[in-house]
Amino acid sequence: MMLENNTRHRRWVLASRPHGEPRAENFRLEEGDIPQPGDGELLLRTVYLSLDPYMRGRMSDAPSYAEPVAVGATMTGGTVSRVAASNHPDYAVGEWVLAASGWQNYAISDGEGLIKLGDNPEHPSWALGVAGMPGFTAYMGLLDIGQPKAGETLVVAAATGPVGATVGQIGKLKGCRVVGVAGGREKCDYAVQTLGFDACLDHRAADFDQQLARACPQGIDIYYENVGGKVFDAVLPLLNTSARVPVCGLVSGYSATSLPDGPDRLPLLMATLLRKRIRMQGFIIGLDYGQRINEFREAMSAWLNDGAIHYREHIRDGLENAPQAFFAMLKGDNFGKTVVRVAQDA
């Protein structure tokens, strides 16, 4: 695996829009000269690239809350970068920044939207995960919409991913009984033994719905929804009166090309929402809660410093491996937050 040699500009562009699951042919790796910053601009060298499920939506031109990536344009994505050259008065060479450079090893910026990470951050890549967008998503969705109370039962799927793991740990800090759902024994053991969940169930089990019912003898007060599909099917009948369901993602259906087979379950959902007076609310973290980012940063910083929140990354080396790492993440083959290490830290 090759980390960047810093002599050429390399970027992954969207070659075509996928129908169903994304494939290698939907991406194209382009190479050229390293761009040079103009007046008031700076050149960013990507060190870490974040890969996240929302990117699947950006590959589609279906109506959404954000503009799609244009065919032929650089794939979008958050990055942790270092300033390689600067004609900007506020940025010096060597500084670390959080940016949105996308799937490329160099990018030109005018400084707009950059967040300074200091000269020598201890864990720079964490700004893409527990201390960044996924952590913020977990924090606001659970605390503002989920409103956990001590003694309540919280269920969260994708329990070892960057959002789910953070949701569960915050739930424990708030006194909840936390039941995670993950794919495989190794992930479930990690959720219980390291993250401190009360239980974690393998969604691949044939009797998953019965296992979930046994793990939630008092029903479910909060279901943090980030997966959809069969997990929600098992959760729905267990929801208590006045349950809360924050919805931040539905990764199991991001590549679906049609509705699932089987009976129409929408009437059951609507009747359950009404009868049990359930609050189910979707949210987009940047659009709905951007003004509360400082509140999150203060709380998360304190928890991390105290060792109250654990965090795991799934790091893949080399920009050339970004598409394969992306496919694996969409299938749940990652274990922790998926990050591509594009270049050495120096």
Asked if 277 and 245 count as a contact pair (C-beta separation under 8 A), the reply is no
| Phi/psi of residue 83, nearest 5 degrees | -75, 115
Q: What is the pLDDT of residue 212?
A: 98
Asked if 180 and 199 count as a contact pair (C-beta separation under 8 A), the reply is yes
Q: What percent of the chain has pLDDT over 90?
A: 88
Q: What is the pLDDT of residue 141?
A: 97
Convert the pLDDT of each residue in 229-274 to its tens digit.
899 999 999 999 999 999 998 887 777 777 778 888 899 999 999 9
Mean pLDDT within 106-125: 94
Convert the pLDDT of each residue in 40-64 to its tens digit.
999 999 999 999 999 999 999 988 8
| Phi/psi of residue 85, nearest 5 degrees | -155, 145
- Would the pLDDT of 16 be above 60? yes
Residue 298 banded pLDDT, cuts 50, 70, 90: very high
Out of 68-77, 180-189, 210-219, 256-265, least confident range: 256-265
Domains, in order of start, for the chain? 9-128+312-341 (3.90.180.10), 133-286 (3.40.50.720)
Asked if 56 and 328 count as a contact pair (C-beta separation under 8 A), the reply is no
In DSSP terms, 82 is beta-bridged to 45, 96
Q: What is the pLDDT of residue 5?
A: 54
- Would the pLDDT of 6 be above 70? no
Q: What is the pLDDT of residue 259?
A: 77
Would the pTM count as exceeding 0.85?
yes
Q: What is the pLDDT of residue 216?
A: 98
Cα–Cα dist 64/294, whole Å: 27
Out of 73-82, 106-115, 254-263, 316-325, least confident range: 254-263
Asked if 156 and 215 count as a contact pair (C-beta separation under 8 A), the reply is no
Q: What is the pLDDT of residue 1?
A: 47
Residue 227 banded pLDDT, cuts 50, 70, 90: confident
